[in-house]
Amino acid sequence: MSDDEKIVEISMHCRGGQTCITASQLLAEMAFEEGFQDTIAIPIIGAERRGAPIQAFSKISKNKVIKTYDSVVDPNYILMFDTSLLDIPHIRASIKEGVNLIINSADPIDTSDLPNNIKIFIVDATGICIQKNFMHASGPILNIPMLGAFGKITGYYNLKTMEKVIKKQFGESRLDKNMSVAKDAYESVREI
């Protein structure tokens, strides 16, 4: 079944403060801007603190109405904002055959115990944020570079769409810095 005929499900794993909840909302909006018929963001917000594992989800569909608002259990794409989360058994177990995994990492990772039938992409989102001083009090703002990498590997939206949504959400004054990190990630994400 092609992406045109299904609901594409995206799972995001991060630590509190790494901005994956905002990323899920922005991804849904970018897909909608790009012509997807229906998009939703599903944040999981509880009593988490900075540094605690967090999950957020997006569902996007080109031609179908999304009728389920529950969390994603069998994602087409996983965005891993922090490689240390791969050490958590239930997160590692969520990486199933057929998934596309985008990992924030400067270095290759050990994939020996992951399913063979997956695609793995890495992007140094943290390094890009540090280099561009794209930070907040608790560390790098990872949502924009991770979304840049996602847009590049999927083709679901491009940098122009990202620019439109970022300008609308964050204003003209923050546009250049956001787009600088988005472009760097878009151009540097690579399959391993």
Which residues are CB-neighbours of 180 under 8 A, at least 6 positions away? Answer: 132, 134
User: Which among 92, 95, 16, 100 is positioned nearest to 53, based on CA atoms?
Assistant: 16
Beta partners for residue 100, in sequence order: 77, 119
Q: What pLDDT shows up at residue 103?
A: 95
Q: Which residues of the chain have pLDDT under 50?
A: none
CA torsion, points 173, 79, 13, 178, in degrees to nearest 10? -10
Say how far apart CA 20 and CA 55 lie, in whole Å.
7
Domain that holds residue 16: 3-191
Specify the number of domains making up the chain.
1
User: What pTM was estimated for this model as a whole?
Assistant: 0.92
- The packing angle between helices 143-154 and 175-188, to 10°, is 50
* pLDDT, tens only, 16-57: 878 889 999 999 999 999 999 999 998 876 656 677 788 999
CATH code of the domain containing 115:
3.40.920.10
